[in-house]
Structure 1
Amino acid sequence: MIKVGIVGGTGYTGVELLRLLSRHPQVSLRAVTSRKEAGMPVADMYSSLRGFVDLCFSDPADQPLQDCDVVFFATPNGIAMQQAQAMLDAGIRIIDLAADFRIRDRATWEQWYGMEHAAPQLLEEAVYGLPEVNRVQIRNARLIANPGCYPTAVQLGFLPLLEAGVIDTRHLIADCKSGVSGAGRKAEVHALLAEAGDNFKAYGVPGHRHLPEIRQGLARMSGQDVGLTFTPHLLPMIRGIHATLYGRLTRDVDLQQLFEQRYADEPFVDVLPAGSHPETRSVRGANVCRLAVHRPQGGDTVVVLAVEDNLVKGAAGQAVQNMNLMFGLPETTGLELVPLLP
């Protein structure tokens, strides 16, 4: 059994990790830390976990993670980097669901996240946890930088086109929408029901923190720098991401075949039949990204539609997928989930 700990189990990604790991056949949950809620039964905060998780939140000062094989950080940006080196030195593997290790360049990270990086020596070692691209490296990693929710959908949507070299990398567009859970479990005016309900708006147009992460990933896929316009939007729903991606074709290609062949052996990427329009509700609660590719009017513009649950394939589910790879388990272990509908 894999001995697992979670730092920051009170947020939405934390409870999603607990939901998945509590039913994982090869996992023994050892600790869920929270200074503020230390001593409270986890199921008292999240009644959905009654009968599945019998742990109490523990104070990290009591060192409840020291005998874990792997620790998930479901914390705000800037927390994992302060504790990572000591844990790695103790032989504990780390999967960070925040952004501390996603961007290789220290100066770029500090520019976008507004703080000094506490563990720059680990940036080169950290493996970016997108299994469809870095599966081999993930298997041998000590430290995983779990991708962001928007970056997962955008990269999986553009991946076949960039690998095949069939689109102009200078003019890519990612028009993305997310439910309010993407903002986390905290008190903010924009996430109030009266603010987000019955409303739809763009945000972060001058620059969003996920932009350098997406650019970095797309550049690795294409072997060159990319020009990307990324515009996120807030939808009046709880879960889900819908990414509409645009590129200009540089040569003729059978797009449907290209996508089907690239993802034929990927358990958590579903390429829909030609002409499909994926819905966010079709992935709710499941660790899958559904894709559809279009070429409107047979022109030189390609449109890719990508949907995922931002808390599962966009966060906790992908983190468990990475854990499975790190510990030599079948990649789908504990993740063969049927989406919730309606």
Structure 2
Amino acid sequence: MSDPIRIGILGASGYTGAELVRLLAGHPDAQIRVLTANQQAGQPMHAVYPHLRSMDLPDLVTWEEADWSALDVAFCALPHGTSQAIVAQMPAGLKVVDLSADFRLRDVDTYAAWYGKAHQAPERQRDAVYGLTELNRTAIGHAGLVACPGCYPTAALLALSPLLDAGTVEPGDLIIDAKSGVTGAGRKVTQGLLFAEVGEGIHPYGVGKHRHAPEMEQELSLAAGADVRVNFTPHLIPMNRGELVTCHVRLAGDATAGDVRRVLGERYDAEPFVRVLPEGATPATRNVRGSNMAEIGVFPDRLPGRAVVVAAIDNLAKGSSGQAIQNMNVMLALHETRGLELQPMFP
């Protein structure tokens, strides 16, 4: 594109907002015009995130002060439940990429049941497209509003959706054991996220009732062509970023772990951001840190008729901000990897 893509970021003071800024710094077509953060309005971005001091960025403003009509794309990096009312007021021609859960669930009654309040923009929900790029690319390319998946669903759906679509695993026996770094909980002052509370330990949360479960079930049911329920348990790991999802599956018919690896390999062979590892290689969060990459490994279980599928992503990149930029590229008919060619950081 000859003219820069004029971008606004709502919720720029959160971790996903800052990650959007960091990644967009390497996007040759992007120009950040608006950054909102109501509690820090009036401050420069580097006052909130000193590591961004070298970037030429607009000062933070309230979302009410933002001129959305002067933008091409708005990224919403706000807490769950706060994007809907704002998106409903945006100009009709503005491309919107929402990183929250506000538009992920297609059924507004399901949203109300899991998030405790009625959907505030049901008319926009009808237009929203689920934004797991690798599995919904065509629809994203025609969308005006994209709902980026949660970080846990991103990893789990990349690992499982092709297998259900191919009939390689049984849809009635899916166990998802997931672990994420503390940035997945957002940048808020909470006792349970203090260093002394999180460090040197690991604990599950949202056991049997985590809000990402219905999102996974919505998309896995589409892949299977039948109603799917999952056993999903997330855990908090004392690291800043990264996510590892271990999926225990029952093989269908005479399928083997080798068949699982073959199906995933064929599905993602041409994908720039998904690596299906060779037999015996283990995915690790350190191998995708800071990048938009996902790694998937497949292992035969010691229990007959079962396999283990492991996926690793960076929860702030492929699990959130990186995927959001990937979706923007598709929405604007840019090369999908534009601005996302960063290699993982190691160590």
Q: Are positions 1:127 and 2:132 aligned together?
A: no
Corresponding residue for 2:251? 249
Letter in 1 for 2:60: F
| Cα distance in 2, alignment partners of residues 235 and 33 from structure 1 | 30
Cα distance change of structure 1 residues 88 and 136 upon mapping to structure 2, 3 Å threshold? farther
Deviation at 1:298, TM superposition (A): 8.0
What amino acid maps onto 2:165 in structure 1?
Answer: E
Partner deviation per Cα, 1:277-306 (whole Å, 9 max, x = no partner): 111111110001100011124831011010
Match of residue 66 from structure 1 = 69
Q: Is the alpha carbon distance of 1:135 and 1:214 closer, same or farther for their aligned partners in structure 2, counting shifts above 3 Å?
A: same
**In terms of mean alpha carbon deviation, does 288-297 or 328-337 score higher?**
288-297
Q: Which residue does 2:297 correspond to in 1?
A: 292
2:233 match: 231
Give the 3-state SS of the residue equivalent to 1:132 in structure 2: helix
2:106 match: secondary structure: coil
**One-letter amino acid matched to 1:225:** D
Q: Counterpart in 2 of 1:334?
A: 339
Letter in 1 for 2:274: V
Specify the alignment match of 1:262 in structure 2: 267
Q: Does 2:324 align with 1:324? A: no
1:86 alignment partner AA: Q
Structure 1 match to 2:309? 304
Are 1:49 and 2:52 matched, yes or no?
A: yes
Instruction: Report if the CA contact (8 A) 2:290-2:343 is conserved.
Output: yes
1:77: how far off? 1.2
Choose 46-55 or 214-223, whichever is displaced more. Answer: 46-55
Contact 1:4 1:27 in 2 (8 A): yes
Q: Distance in 2 between matches of 1:88 and 1:169?
A: 41
Match of 1:79 in 2: 82
| Equivalent-residue separation in structure 1 for 2:310 and 2:78 (angstroms) | 30
Using structure 1 for the length normalisation, give the TM-score: 0.97
Residue 263 of structure 1 and its aligned partner are, at CA, apart by 0.5
Choose 64-73 or 305-314, whichever is displaced more: 64-73
Alignment partner of 1:315 is 2:316? no
Runs of 5+ consecutive residues of structure 1 not aligned to the other structure: none
What's the C-alpha RMSD, in Å, of the aligned pairs?
Answer: 1.2
The Cα offsets for residues 237-278 of structure 1, whole Å up to 9 and x where unpaired, read as 111110000110112332222211110011111111111111
Q: Quick check: 2:168–2:260 contact (8 Å CA) kept in 1?
A: no
CA contact (8 A) 2:162 2:263 kept: yes
- Bigger drift between 115-124 and 259-268 goes to 115-124
Correspondence 1:11 to 2:18: no
Task: Quote the Cα distance in structure 2 between the aligned partners of 1:191 and 1:199.
Answer: 12
Q: Partner of 2:169: helix, strand, or coil? A: coil
- Letter of the structure 1 residue corresponding to residue 308 of structure 2: V
1:173 corresponds in structure 2 to 175
Any residues of structure 2 matched to 1:135-174 within 5 Å, and which?
Answer: 135-174=137-176
Q: Which moved more, 1:314-323 or 1:111-120?
A: 111-120
Q: Deviations over 1:202-244 (max 9, x none)?
A: 1111300101001001001111111210000011111111000
Query: Quick one: distance in 2 between partners of 1:178 and 1:266?
Result: 24
Do the aligned residues in 2 keep the contact of 1:78 with 1:100 (CA within 8 Å)?
A: yes
TM-score normalized by the length of structure 2: 0.96
* Equivalent-residue separation in structure 2 for 1:61 and 1:266 (angstroms): 39
Q: Which letter does structure 1 place at the counterpart of 2:73?
A: V
Answer whether contact 2:322 2:340 (CA < 8 A) is retained.
Answer: yes
Consecutive unaligned residues in structure 2, runs of 5 or more? none
What is the CA-CA distance between 1:88 and the residue it aligns to? 4.0
Three-state SS of the structure 1 residue aligned to 2:248 is strand
| Rounded Cα–Cα distance in structure 2 between residues aligned with 1:47 and 1:271 | 36
| Distance change in 2, residues 1:60/1:255 (3 Å) | closer
The one-letter code sitting in structure 2 at the alignment partner of 1:166 is T
Q: Secondary structure at the match of 2:340?
A: coil
**Contact residue 43 and residue 53 of structure 1 kept, 8 A:** no
**Contact 1:22–1:53 (8 Å) recurs in 2:** no
Q: Secondary structure at the match of 1:44?
A: helix
Q: Decide which moves more: 235-244 or 292-301.
A: 292-301
Contact 1:291 1:307 in 2 (8 A): yes
User: What is the distance in 1 between the residues matched to 2:229 and 2:103?
Assistant: 23
| Map 1:101-112 → 2, pairs under 5 A | 101-112=103-114
Percent of aligned pairs with the same amino acid: 46
Alignment CA distance shift 1:273-1:250 (3 Å): same
Other-structure match for 2:191: 189
Letter of the structure 1 residue corresponding to residue 278 of structure 2: P
1:282 counterpart residue number = 287
CA contact (8 A) 2:208 2:231 kept: no
Alignment match of 2:120 (pick from 106, 118, 121): 118
Counterpart position of 1:20: 23
Paired residue total: 341
CA contact (8 A) 1:58 1:64 kept: no
